Amino acid sequence: MKKRIGIIVATVMSAAIVLSACGGANSASSDNYAVTSSKNAAPEEAGGVYDVAMATEESADYNGEGSGQADFTPDPTRKLITTVNISAESENLDDTISKVTGKVSELGGYVESSNIYNGSKYNSGREVRNADFTIRIPAEKLDSFIDTIENASNITSKSSNVEDVTLSYVDIESKKNALLAEEKSLLGILESAEKIEDILAVQEKLADVRYQIESAESQLRTYDNKVNYSTVYLGLNEVIQYTPSGEKGAFERMGEGFIKSLKSVGNGFKELLIWLVIHIPQLVILGIIAFIVVFIIKRNNKKIAAKREEMIKKSVNNTSKEETEGKDGK
């Protein structure tokens, strides 16, 4: 009896030791997962675990001499999508486009779409021209590309937006890994299945799982492309003179306004001369028609005037003749 009790106690103690070891391993694994997840999650989503992890990283970044300066570096594990909108002016649109597209090729980017408009409207004597581009630039070279735009044109407005898709990316990646594990399990079941209906059911489920894996991989590739290549929406307008920045004094504004008015008058005469030269054939035809009309009108007026004079003379002669006959009768 005592021997049996001793065996039972020994068995219970061994089981307790094994469970304790497993529990400690699971706890350590869970803690490691929590810290890893906190690094990949946004601060507002991760909660207290994230704060603890960040506090640990911050304290680790201080140097050993206790200088009190922290070396903060961007977290390469984060998935950030950067979009930039730029509106700019150019005094030479063709030259600016050449510089911009050349820099795109140099940095390893590409033009996703472009639209160049050579308008027919006139503004201060010049034809309005503009261009719109959607450009993809490697994220790490975005600043260099923006510097090129600033040097080649006059930026009138610029805005940027950074979207953190880390959580979505991690969720899709976790879903993909789970699907891969399920695929492996289904392949094992398929190998051991003997009945036709079981094989067909497993194959149907396997096809669905593989479809979901492909969908997840496609979403991840899309995210990777948007993260690795920043998007720049660039609008260029050709102008005669760059838009001035800052407030100018009264005399400076009057001087610039006077010069601008002189240029406007000069452009007006130039455009009038261009118009006259362009429409010479029409003007010649109109001149001939006008000359013929005037000639006909003048000739008719002369005929009418001659007839009127003739009628006046006849009237005068008749009056004189009546007066003479009247005197003779008396």
Q: What is the pLDDT of residues 205-255, one digit of tens each?
A: 999 999 999 999 999 999 999 999 999 999 999 988 777 665 566 776 677
Q: What is the structure's pLDDT at 270?
A: 81
Decide which of 118 and 40 is more confident. 118
Question: Coil, helix or strand for 68?
Answer: coil
Q: What is the structure's pLDDT at 150?
A: 92
Q: What is the structure's pLDDT at 298?
A: 87
pLDDT single digits (tens) 98-113:
999 999 999 999 999 9
Structure confidence at residue 204 as a pLDDT band (50, 70, 90): very high
Per-residue pLDDT at 183 exceeds 80: yes
Return d(Cα 63, Cα 77) in angstroms, integer: 23
pLDDT single digits (tens) 295-316:
899 888 888 888 888 888 777 7
In terms of C-beta distances under 8 Å and separation of at least 24 residues, what long-range contacts does 295-302 make, across chains too? Answer: none
Decide which of 298 and 319 is more confident. 298
pLDDT single digits (tens) 45-97:
333 333 333 333 333 333 333 334 334 345 667 999 999 999 999 989 999 99
Q: Which residues contact 129 (CB under 8 A, 6 or more apart)?
A: 93, 116, 117, 118, 119, 237, 238
Q: What is the structure's pLDDT at 330?
A: 54
Q: What is the structure's pLDDT at 314?
A: 76
Mean of the per-residue pLDDT values of the chain: 76
Q: What percent of the chain has pLDDT over 90?
A: 47
Q: Which residues contact 270 (CB under 8 A, 6 or more apart)?
A: 125
Q: Give residue for tokens 């969908």.
A: 215
Largest interatomic CA distance in the chain: 193
Structure confidence at residue 322 as a pLDDT band (50, 70, 90): low
pLDDT single digits (tens) 47-57:
333 333 333 33
Two tokens, residue 311: 């009628």
Question: Coil, helix or strand for 239?
Answer: coil
Q: What is the structure's pLDDT at 247?
A: 59
**Among 32, 258, 236, 257, which Cα is nearest to 118's?**
236
Q: Where are the beta strands (DSSP E) in the chain?
A: 80-90, 110-123, 126-138, 154-164, 229-238
Is residue 201 within 8 Å of residue 190, measured between CB atoms?
no
Q: What is the structure's pLDDT at 269?
A: 82
Burial of 139 (0-12, 13-18, 19+ CB in 10 A): middle
Per-residue pLDDT at 178 exceeds 60: yes
Decide which of 242 and 120 is more confident. 242
Which amino acid, 254?
M
323 alpha-carbon distance from chain centroid: 102
> What single-letter DSSP state applies at residue 153?
S
Structure confidence at residue 40 as a pLDDT band (50, 70, 90): very low
Q: What is the structure's pLDDT at 17?
A: 38
Q: What is the pTM of this model?
A: 0.53
Q: What is the structure's pLDDT at 134?
A: 96
Decide which of 39 and 296 is more confident. 296
**Among 144, 122, 151, 148, which Cα is nearest to 238's?**
122
Q: What is the structure's pLDDT at 75?
A: 64
Return d(Cα 14, Cα 8) in angstroms, integer: 10
Q: What is the structure's pLDDT at 18?
A: 37
Q: What is the structure's pLDDT at 66?
A: 39
